[in-house]
Amino acid sequence: MNFVNIWGATTLIVCLAVGVASPAIAQVDHDEDREFISRLFEQALTQRQSYIWLRDLCLEIGPRLSGSSNAAKSIEWVKYISDTSGFDHVFLQDVKVPHWERGEAEQAVLTDSKGNELELSVLAIGGSIATPPGGITGQVLEVGSLQEVNRLTKEKVEGKILFYNPPFDQSNIMTGASYGANVGTRSRGAVTAAEKGAIASIIRSVTSADDDYPHTGTGSYADGVPKIPAAALGVQSADRLSEVIAKDPEATLRLTMNCQWFEDAPSHNVVAEMRGSEYPDQIIVVGGHLDSWDVGHGAHDDGAGCMHALGALKLLKELGINPKRTIRAVMFINEENGTRGGHRYAELAVENEEKHLIAIESDAGGFTPRGFGVTSSDEQRKKLEGWLPLFPRNTISYFSRGGGGVDIGPLHRATGTPMMGLSIDSQRMFDLHHSARDVFEEVHPRELELGTASLAAIIYLLDKYGL
Ligand SMILES: [Zn+2]
């Protein structure tokens, strides 16, 4: 996930106040809606369908990097569970995706000027080139930001391994803001370092945790700039490295990485649909991304979001909803390192002249849902706020301005479709995100199912009342 929602508690109070006073509430008798929504929550919490599916996805298949055989298996599997859930139409959208593999495990060994060795915890950044066989060795130069590198002379950087070591800002309640502040260093660090003649680029993992699991994520190269290996260190390793080179600038680091690029691979988005009975041409789309990084299980990022979307459709079906509008769950492919699935979905929507009422994404993790971030007109957002009292207490409590998702962004930009993203309690997300800790065991069934029910509830209201 890349989307950042920075709205806080003040917004929440304002939104609640608006919600209570909204004309949408005054005009319609919502008792029936309130009752139906509470049944959605009860059913989700007791049946745990999303959680059961997520267990299969994580434990039977595992991580699903684009182009991998696991990604192909997960597409087949999600199509199968969709086919057997009784939806009206299940189909695949073909798309070619990048195919990069990490290869044999990376190594980073720090050697001080006395010859003492220390092994650091490291992961290649997605898309990185390999080091030459046997690794690349150099002295390490620590910096805090891309801007700092821009101010350095070439002589200072040339032949060195550049080490970006900005701390994660722990002061934000919405941790996505802290992630967003450092993620540019991860994606552009290698280019900025190579422009000054560095031989490799390493970063302190962008994480709120204080452990030694390195966190990967996508990196980039630029035309005309030499490609250099790029990697992330666990934060404890980053701290050790910083301490050692401060005292002993002659210390060297040997970085060994075995990554490989392959030809683009054929892949698919998976789409499950319930057809609208009155306005079949108005589509409400809800999705997550089926691909993940290649470490951990991709449980929170974004197995949870996919199972939220599919689980929401299944809940509505089981509780007897015959939608007026067409409701689609989309499991997008390739969010993490290319967004090709999201672009393909938008391209086909334009080609087929489809009309989307709204696009919704869950890509913030399977933690307790708190609200939605919405990109729409103010009137539309006010209408959504009018529904706040229909959600059970301690679930959805705001519709904040601005939000959506990486996969639905292309549809929004191509067609102007309003979009929104499910916001969750983000305290633990960036402890796990893109690391070997993002495993099924870190997902709590009740928290996950509250997200599924929240999505089902908002889809139910959007289908019934439009936007
Ligand atoms: Zn994600």
pLDDT the model gives residue 28: 65
Angle between helices 9-21 and 378-385 (to 10 degrees): 80
pLDDT the model gives residue 27: 55
Q: Return d(Cα 105, Cα 395) in angstroms, integer.
A: 41
Please name the residues in contact with 343: beta carbons below 8 A apart, sequence gap of 6 or more: 95, 410
The helix or strand, by DSSP H or E, that contains position 119, with its residue range, turns out to be strand 117-120
Q: Return d(Cα 178, Cα 208) in angstroms, integer.
A: 9
**332, 283 Cβ separation under 8 angstroms:** no
Alpha carbon of 17 to ligand 1 centroid (Å): 32
State phi, psi for 262 to the nearest 5 degrees: -125, 175
Q: Return d(Cα 251, Cα 255) in angstroms, integer.
A: 13
Q: Return d(Cα 142, Cα 293) in angstroms, integer.
A: 27
pLDDT the model gives residue 23: 45
DSSP state of 347: H
Alpha carbon of 54 to ligand 1 centroid (Å): 15
Q: pLDDT tens-digit profile of 270-297?
A: 999 999 999 999 999 999 999 999 999 9
Alpha carbon of 8 to ligand 1 centroid (Å): 22
State phi, psi for 256 to the nearest 5 degrees: -125, 125
Given a cut of 90, is residue 82 above it in pLDDT?
yes
The encoded tokens of residue 392 equal 């059970």
pLDDT the model gives residue 12: 34
CA dihedral 435, 438, 442, 448 (to 10 degrees): 140
pLDDT the model gives residue 411: 98
Alpha carbon of 335 to ligand 1 centroid (Å): 7
Q: pLDDT tens-digit profile of 109-159?
A: 999 999 999 999 999 999 999 999 999 999 999 999 999 999 999 999 999
CA dist list (Å): 441 to 54, 366, 424, 433, 436: 11, 12, 18, 14, 12
Given a cut of 60, is residue 7 above it in pLDDT?
no
pLDDT the model gives residue 58: 98
Q: Which residues are 361's β-sheet partners?
A: 287, 421
**213, 441 Cβ separation under 8 angstroms:** no
CATH superfamily of 9-99+263-465: Zn peptidases (3.40.630.10)
Alpha carbon of 18 to ligand 1 centroid (Å): 31
Question: Any long-range contacts for 165-169 (C-beta under 8 Å, 24+ apart)?
Answer: 165/203, 165/204, 165/238, 165/241, 165/242, 166/204, 167/204, 168/206, 168/207, 168/208, 168/235, 168/430
pLDDT the model gives residue 11: 35
Residues belonging to the active site = 335
Given a cut of 50, is residue 3 above it in pLDDT?
no
Domain ranges of the chain: 9-99+263-465, 103-258
Alpha carbon of 66 to ligand 1 centroid (Å): 13
Alpha carbon of 366 to ligand 1 centroid (Å): 11
Task: Considering the domain delimited by 103-258, tell me its CATH architecture.
Answer: 3-Layer(bba) Sandwich (3.50)
Q: pLDDT tens-digit profile of 196-220?
A: 999 999 999 999 999 999 999 999 9
Alpha carbon of 258 to ligand 1 centroid (Å): 25
Least confident of 28-42, 240-254, 369-383: 28-42
pLDDT the model gives residue 19: 37
Q: Return d(Cα 161, Cα 184) in angstroms, integer.
A: 18
Angle between helices 304-318 and 445-465 (to 10 degrees): 60
Q: pLDDT tens-digit profile of 256-275?
A: 999 999 999 999 999 999 99
Given a cut of 50, is residue 39 above it in pLDDT?
yes
Alpha carbon of 150 to ligand 1 centroid (Å): 30
Alpha carbon of 302 to ligand 1 centroid (Å): 5
| Average of per-residue pLDDT values in the chain | 94
**5, 373 Cβ separation under 8 angstroms:** yes
How far the first Cα of the chain sits from its last, in Å, is 26
Q: pLDDT tens-digit profile of 285-338?
A: 999 999 999 999 999 999 999 999 999 999 999 999 999 999 999 999 999 999
**370, 447 Cβ separation under 8 angstroms:** no
Q: pLDDT tens-digit profile of 420-438?
A: 999 999 999 999 999 999 9
Alpha carbon of 59 to ligand 1 centroid (Å): 19
State phi, psi for 153 to the nearest 5 degrees: -80, 160
Q: pLDDT tens-digit profile of 340-359?
A: 999 999 999 999 999 999 99
pLDDT the model gives residue 422: 98
CA-based nearest residue to 251, from 137, 106, 132, 131: 137
The helix or strand, by DSSP H or E, that contains position 256, with its residue range, turns out to be strand 252-256
Alpha carbon of 32 to ligand 1 centroid (Å): 35
Alpha carbon of 338 to ligand 1 centroid (Å): 12
Beta-carbon-side half-sphere exposure of residue 138 (alpha carbons within 13 Å) = 22
Most distant CA pair in the chain: distance in Å?
78
Mean pLDDT (whole number) for 408-412: 98
Q: Return d(Cα 290, Cα 54) in angstroms, integer.
A: 11
Least confident of 10-24, 35-49, 130-144, 261-275: 10-24
pLDDT the model gives residue 330: 98
Q: Return d(Cα 233, Cα 241) in angstroms, integer.
A: 9
